[in-house]
Amino acid sequence: MNHSMARFAVAMICGPLFGAGLVVSGMADPAKVLGFLDVSRMAQGTWDPSLMLVMMGALSVVVPGYMLGIKPRIDAQQAPLCEARYHVPATKALDRPLLLGSALFGLGWGLVGICPGPALASLASGSPAVLGFVLSMVAGTQVARLLNEARNTKMQGAPTVSEPS
């Protein structure tokens, strides 16, 4: 099996596992996400802290796994098993795109309680609302790509905007 096929196979396994994680954790349900983001529900005692538990569960795996298994390899300039190098963002700048983009994303997320992963996993519901959300989201990503490219062209010689993760 060559590397390109191996990467394909890995993605075919990680994608469903990720989607299953969204469903099991409850994050595929916008009502649950809004139940967390709408902190005014704390006053009525109906606030749902599960999103915090989801994050804790995920980080309890990723932090030790990355620190013990992956970071030493990156530092030693070793390659991942099926790819020539680690595609980990190198930029460290807390710049305007990071802050502005995250703010816009947060507003959209809080409006309906859907972020990109759950949006894709929920397409199977057949709901026209989810389909509309996904099409609009894809349009948004491509507009942003054009804006990023225009910005990079304008700032020739300056470090390029990091690859979106």
Map the footprint of other proteins across residues 27-66, applying CB under 8 A.
Answer: 27-31, 34, 37-40, 50-51, 53-63, 65-66
Of positions 44, 77, 94, 156, contacts other proteins by CB under 8 A:
94
| Sole binder of other proteins in the list 81, 152, 159, 160 (CB under 8 A) | 81
Is residue 91 within 8 A of residue 162, CB to CB? The reply is: yes
* Beta carbon nearer to other proteins, 29 or 157: 29
The single residue among 43, 46, 47, 124 that binds other proteins, judged by CB under 8 A, is 124
**Residue by residue, what is the 3-state secondary structure of the chain?**
CCHHHHHHHHHHHHHHHHHHHHHHHCCCCHHHHHHHHCHHHHCCCCCCCHHHHHHHHHHHHHHHHHHHHHHHHHHCCCCCCCCCCCCCCCCCCCCHHHHHHHHHHHHHHHHHCCCHHHHHHHHHHCCHHHHHHHHHHHHHHHHHHHHHHHHHHHCCCCCCCCCCC
Minimum distance of other proteins from residue 156's CB (angstroms): 18
Q: Taking CB under 8 A as the rule, does residue 147 contact other proteins?
A: yes
State which of positions 2-21 bind other proteins (CB under 8 A). Answer: 4, 6-21
Q: Least distance from C-beta 157 to other proteins, angstroms?
A: 20
Is 158 one of the binding residues for other proteins (CB under 8 A)?
A: no
Size of the site for other proteins (CB under 8 A): 118
By CB under 8 A, tell whether 162 contacts other proteins: yes
Closest CA to 87 of 107, 112, 70, 65: 70
